Amino acid sequence: MRLANLTGAGLGLRRGLLTELIGDGASGADFLEVAPENWIGVGGRLGKQLRALSERRPLLCHGLSLNLGGFAPLNLDLLYAIKGFLYAHGVLAYSEHLSACADDGQLYDLMPLPFSEESVARIAERVRIVQDVLERPLIIENVSAYARLPGELDEADFVRAVLERADCQLLLDVNNVYVNSLNFGFDAEAYIAAMPSERIAYLHVAGHYDQAADLKIDTHGAPVIDPVWALLSSAYAQHGVRPTLLERDFNFPPLAELYAEQAHIRSLQQAAQPQSRYGT
């Protein structure tokens, strides 16, 4: 799958970066991504600034609270609010986490799922409902985790099964693959190779926190490290170059440092194009 007219390296738009991005027109980013829940209904100065940036750069949305893996009913009020936001800002694509984040109330965290056939069937039905309401494809993201629940599938097979059963697309988060490979002892390269190329819409990279040798926390609060860059190169070689977004949620460095990481993404994309299996 390709996102039409979207190439290069994007940046997650956080309010802590807003002033600097407005100041230079997001000149170092080929596209931007926001969490719609953080912006729905926001007006005044912040709303005008978001509008100004969305008119200068293509905008994607990455949701936080649909609760695709949960048991509570889908929040249709939220879905329709997101639909209006996507339309109002000409958003090119909408993604969500393959996780649970609510029960009787919002959990404000991304909880792991059982990697089971029952989970696949239930989540696929929820994804289909979301796609019907939004009248557009949904992109689901593989998530980082720190515990495993009982299930007969491994993570890569579970993600593939949901993609096929729901007939949706994948946001391949390379840092999450790396984090989980160390937390749970699997081969990150093999995981990425197992993903269906035709369903990969775009990619994420980010930094994380080394809690211990066998425990990495996906914080988005540090620069991308060399092993994750290497895994990104491997993803390009396996699946072809895709638009790739840099996430940074706090500990913001000068904007020039984030732009330098984006420039590195582009250099890896350029290097991968001649040998990528599926081209661009």
- What was the pLDDT predicted at 111? 77
Residuewise pLDDT in 10s, the chain (280 residues): 568 789 999 999 999 899 999 999 999 999 999 999 999 999 899 999 999 999 999 999 999 989 999 998 999 999 999 999 999 999 999 999 999 875 654 555 677 889 999 999 999 999 999 999 999 999 999 998 888 888 899 999 999 999 999 999 999 999 999 999 999 899 999 999 999 999 999 999 998 767 777 777 777 778 999 999 999 999 999 999 999 999 998 899 999 999 999 999 999 999 998 654 544 4
Q: What is the CA radius of gyration of the chain?
A: 18
What local confidence, expressed as pLDDT, does residue 4 receive? 72
Architecture of domain 9-272: Alpha-Beta Barrel (3.20)
So what's the pLDDT on residue 149? Answer: 84
Alpha helix stretches (DSSP H) within 39-110: 44-56, 76-88
Place of tokens 């109002």: 88
Please check whether residue 207 is in contact with residue 177, taking contact to mean a CB–CB distance below 8 angstroms: no
Q: Please give the structure tokens belonging to residue 280.
A: 């661009």
Q: Which two tokens stand for residue 37?
A: 């829940």
Considering only CA atoms, which of 12, 17, 19 is closest in space to residue 45?
Answer: 19
Selection from 54, 17, 70 nearest residue 254 by Cα: 17
Give the pLDDT score at 278.
45
pLDDT for the residue numbered 1: 52
Residue 211: its H or E element: strand 209-212
pLDDT (0 to 100) of residue 38: 93
